[in-house]
Structure 1
């Protein structure tokens, strides 16, 4: 069924509600029944909602090509102008401004409401009238609290407003949460897929029909991809989709039983995505494209899950990262989890057909230095625990309908124009890095594994100012002819190739991990240190802020995911010295995503193992040996209580070669076998990995 026709049918029941709400909202623009600061807020927001109602009407009639580029650009700017950095200091989207104008408590709640209502922009583009009607009604409900209180010459209490927000969000979980699960599984929700299929990539006006904020980055990326020869686009897409296919092959999973794949990417790459759609369809898979969530009820702080743009203002997103604190309590947690179960049960046939995500990451964006505002909403300690529990229980529900041992994934990354003047050269070299010789690296990496498999533990030390000093304990191999501790990771699910990895034994894994800078999500951590005791992170530090507590809070949110303790879920040795040489040549190592950086030195992941939810599925290296290190002492708890076994996170942190002194495999007799010395591969048969270093030294 055509997407627009589908939405029209689904909107029928909400049409009258929506237009009634719009009629009332139009009146609010000129009403002055409530005290001045609040009156101005409601008038402004009402004007914004009226604009979105008009936008919905306009888009219903509009066809691609009806508007000029300048008209589309102007409309996009008007929709997002209020939260752009130049205007943000005086925006109700800014909790600091809202608290100053409207008062403590009131400001935070009404800033939250405004942020939620801004989600109606994309609902207008997608034609989701039911969602627009629901949010309009929430606005009117809160406004009515003020008008009723004004009759008694008072203000509604902060608690009254908070309860109105809470009950509306809780009541509408059957709509918002269920639809979110559906759009992750249902290819008939083809809004974005249709745009890409029908786009003329020589005319970048198509970007404005996604409804996201379109910056120079998306425009320049789309223009650049439009200038590439078709054979280059094919090479990019083929590497991506072939990696996905290989993932099923390597893991021994049957792709023929699946019918759908999700593509996650950043806007601007549509020409490549269109070719990828064609490739996936040739594999028998329908593509699902869903937007990164815009409502607090479905957001995951610090993570974009879906398609998205760079966005109008990262500080705005950061300020609202804990908006769910307004409604997160045990009753809400239980309510949301019930709705997730309802959704998966409703769409269980679609869930069975889902093969897993195919992700395109980007890198090169300007460094974002967040400002911690006292007015921004925050989790209480109790809410942190509830958030962690909800994520874990949600993952377990998902596993019941989409078992991890039946799906796979792939991830690939490309630069964006913000990386600077060398963008085109970096893009070209990234394509080459993504297509390195699978067979050559398979042989080299096996030589590293042969050394590491002799060890009971591995010692890793930093050099210079890097104070890393950590010992990683390994599983005991019973049958060296058939078993191995390390997976030989070449170009399949994790592109580019270049690592051997294991799940460490936690007991005996001790020491300090240090890296001078690393990007995790949108945040660059400076002088990050994690302390491990028997495999668990027991302390952590960074130098992003002058206040140590702010630094700990940032790590707790972004890396620890609000857990008190996290295990080391992975230890790996990266072998992609070609990527490292490229990064050093262009001086962009701090801008690279962890996907590439993890191949450029030893890396350590905190959280779940690489095999979470699929530990009982055998994994074999190309030489036929079974990888036995799929569990640790924490993941083994799944056999008694899955709630204690998983953390719903896996965050990689890499020590780049330039900060690395040595890696030794230490045998049970105490013999130390060198893998890396002074940042260079030291064992026989690894000479090829040092060639890119020689090029750097020659040019230094």
Structure 2
């Protein structure tokens, strides 16, 4: 800590320590400022405990007590009477005051990871923001809402070059070793290490770490190997030179540190130094309700959902330009680090309690103009990222593991998922090639639902010019998307039409019931769901969380999943509704709305194991990149799977009208694919 930062810190915390006893603010606002000041004093005590070294020698019970005090007021049951809840804040403080002050309290909570990392300079910024707002309430008259909004705006603008710039650097610089030092330097058999990250630690993280600690090194190695080999294979299969890269970003949920440690060693053998960065906490770095980066348990998904649009309090064109300027400057200063980044290696979890959000009118919401600006920012930011970390040079991999909350059969399920994630890729590749040989003969594919599923889709296929050397579908085994298996393509939009329906699906952690999308010429023309009594509320839910505020999206991918073993496991343990899309997409046909799987890399030639080039990498929307790249991409890709039990028929229709059935009555019927039915038959027995 510099001398100036030390002085500012002491002045700020000294002032905050006086606020709980003061009566200068209006009577209805005093409880808010008292409670928030008390939280900041707790944060100061936590910071002091961390930087003094005392935190690392505390007992497990003492660490759990700290975790409870830091996160307790946003847990379900307490959150409903916390100023972090916009509805409660509005009820106590008044509508507009409640909205702004709830945002302020949530932003103060972003100081927890700052304190855990000993970042006093970040804490000073937060403390001073709180004091500035408090000062406005010391006058006899309540401050104008405009005045509070201006304070929030200048906080966002002035400190964009701190929080947003550091966020970019943390994503590409292996010298940022806070998390890596914990992973590689702590005794992972001692669960106390989980609390050193400063994240919320739930029974899931504790249970995961305990189970992994009980596994033999051979099993941990097997888990790490399939993960890192999938990453390496992704570069090989797309013809990208991994030797040009020097870093890899590992994203995961706490509890899997034994696997991360083993994976880091594997990556170093490939010439890649791991980069671990935390999921963003503050409004200037995070985006929506999702978490990108390593993180602990999620204390309350409703809290994340309520604050997903907090930037609505300050988002305007001037701020967008400011943030893009900071982004450009930061990348330019770190362009060698950026160019070395090979892409993310992601470990997801599943099995958490399903979440269906409660919309709250008191929470900040983007105006139509702000939604346009956000889309503009997303487009320009993606283009800039692609400039410094070229899409045609990077890849990724993603794998998923269950957490204890999945149920009492957790250990059995975990072992089953290890088996699923390590299935024989070669065998699946051969069967999937049989499917592709049939699909390559088609003009379009017809998909019909059954057992109450209203799906009736016609998916147009790319026309092959040289069938001896070209193919429409990619034979996906276990590289970037683990586990096996699927075959997928970028559909031709013109002529792709119909209705896609699924009774229940979880997308990006959110539940959608009775979800229905309609398409014409490959573009979404209508949508609805059964989550809410008010159908318009359901449309808004889809607009925000599937369309991501675009008026429409193209059908970017059509695929047929072949992993019947995963499907049977889901049925056996009753966890189909908890399976992540990564596995669920392999358990039936799926449709992705948004960009294609080849976005930003359409011009790179890709080949299947049989040597044929996969030529269906583009569509009419992504082709716009040649004239105006801002009109070519939507920066989203959401897979929606129809489970086998809701599937009536999939057939390829050739140019002369001949039908080649692939699946009928939930079973594979194409000769040469019958082996995929074996897990289904064994389950039925």
Q: TM-score, normalised by structure 2?
A: 0.99
Using the alignment, how far apart are the partners of 1:393 and 1:663 within structure 2? 39
Give the aligned partner of residue 58 of structure 1: 49
Measured after TM superposition, the shift of residue 28 of structure 1 is 1.6
CA distance in 2 between counterparts of 1:136 and 1:387 reads 28
Q: Check conservation: 2:231, 2:479, Cα contact below 8 A.
A: yes
Question: How many residue pairs end up in the alignment?
Answer: 685
Q: Hey, what's the Cα distance between the residues in 2 that align with 1:108 and 1:524?
A: 26
Report if the CA contact (8 A) 1:302-1:558 is conserved: no
Q: Does 1:499 align with 2:486?
A: yes
Q: Is residue 350 from structure 1 mapped to residue 337 from structure 2 by the alignment?
A: yes
Of 672, 678, 682, the match for 1:691: 678
Aligned to 1:412: 399
Residue of structure 2 in register with 1:318 after alignment: 305
CA contact (8 A) 2:56 2:196 kept: no
CA distance in structure 2 between the partners assigned to 1:548 and 1:300 by the alignment: 26
What's the secondary structure of 1:611's corresponding residue? coil
Aligned counterpart for 1:44 among listed residues 35, 38, 53: 35
1:85 Cα shift? 1.2
| 1:212-611 alignment, distance < 5 Å | 212-611=199-598
Distance 2:555 2:447 in 1: 14
1:35 alignment counterpart: 26
Give the whole-Å Cα distance in 1 for the aligned partners of 2:251 and 2:513: 28
Question: Once the 2 structures are TM-superposed, how far is the Cα of residue 491 of structure 1 from its aligned partner?
Answer: 0.8
Q: Does 1:140 align with 2:140?
A: no
Query: Match for residue 25 of structure 1?
Result: 16
Task: Supply the distance in 2 between the matched residues of 1:670 and 1:36 (Cα, whole angstroms).
Answer: 77
Match of 1:5 in 2: none
2:142 maps to 155
Contact 1:64–1:206 (8 Å) recurs in 2 = no
How far is 1:628 from its partner? 0.5
Aligned to 1:93: 84
Post-superposition offset of 1:84:
1.4
Describe how 1:53-132 pairs up with structure 2 within 5 A.
53-62=44-53, 65-132=56-123
Instruction: Report Cα offsets for 1:332-357 as digits up to 9, x if no partner.
Output: 11111111111111111100110000
1:139 shift after superposition:
0.8
1:614 aligns with 2:614: no
Q: CA deviation at 1:230?
A: 1.0
What is the alpha-carbon distance in structure 1 between the residues aligned to residue 438 and residue 305 of structure 2? Answer: 45
Quick one: distance in 2 between partners of 1:439 and 1:63?
A: 53
Q: Partners of 1:115 and 1:216 in 2: how far apart?
A: 24
Aligned mates of 1:65, 1:373 — CA distance in 2: 40
Deviation at 1:30, TM superposition (A): 1.5
Preserved contact between residue 487 and residue 560 of structure 2 (Cα < 8 Å)? yes
Residue 461 of structure 1 contacts residue 661 of structure 1 at CA under 8 Å; is this kept in 2?
A: yes
Bigger shift: residues 127-136 or 560-569: 127-136
Q: CA deviation at 1:575?
A: 0.6
Report how far residue 16 of structure 1 moved.
2.1
Gaps (5+ residues) in structure 2? none
Distance apart, 1:582 and its partner CA: 0.8
Q: Give the whole-Å Cα distance in 2 for the aligned partners of 1:37 and 1:194.
A: 46
State the Cα deviation string for residues 73-97 of structure 1 (Å, max 9, x = none).
Answer: 0011011111111211211101111
Give the distance between the partners of 2:487 and 2:248, measured in 1 at CA: 27
Q: Report Cα offsets for 1:616-642 as digits up to 9, x if no partner.
A: 000000011000101000000000000
Bigger mean CA deviation after superposition, 252-261 or 626-635: 252-261
Give distance in 2, aligned partners of 1:157 and 1:591: 47
Shift of 1:12: 5.5
What does 1:179-198 correspond to in 2, within 5 Å? 179-198=166-185
* Structure 1: distance between partners of 2:289 and 2:500: 23
> Secondary structure, in 3 states, of the residue corresponding to 2:451?
coil
Structure 1 residue 44, shift from structure 2 partner: 1.5
Question: For residues 23 and 617 of structure 2, what CA distance do their matches in structure 1 show?
Answer: 65
What is the alpha-carbon distance in structure 2 between the residues aligned to residue 389 and residue 12 of structure 1?
Answer: 41
Q: Distance in 2 between matches of 1:14 and 1:287?
A: 31
CA spacing shift, 1:23–1:63, aligned 2, 3 Å: closer
Q: For 1:56 and 1:176, locate their aligned partners in 2 and report how far apart those are by CA, in whole Å.
A: 19
How much has 1:63 moved relative to structure 2?
Answer: 5.3
Residue of structure 2 equivalent to 1:205: 192
RMSD: 1.1
Q: Does structure 2 conserve the Cα–Cα contact (< 8 Å) formed by 1:302 and 1:522? A: no
Deviation per CA, 1:450-493, whole angstroms, max 9, x where unpaired? 00000011100001100000000111100000000100001111
TM-score scaled by length of structure 1: 0.97
Query: How far, CA to CA, are the matches of 2:37 and 2:333 in structure 1?
Result: 36
**Which residue of the partner structure matches residue 156 of structure 2?**
169
TM superposition shift of 1:291: 0.7
Residues 205-247 of structure 1: CA deviation (Å, up to 9, x unaligned)? 0001110111111111111111111111110011001111111
- Deviation per CA, 1:149-184: give whole Å up to 9, x if none: x1xx21111111011101111111111110000000
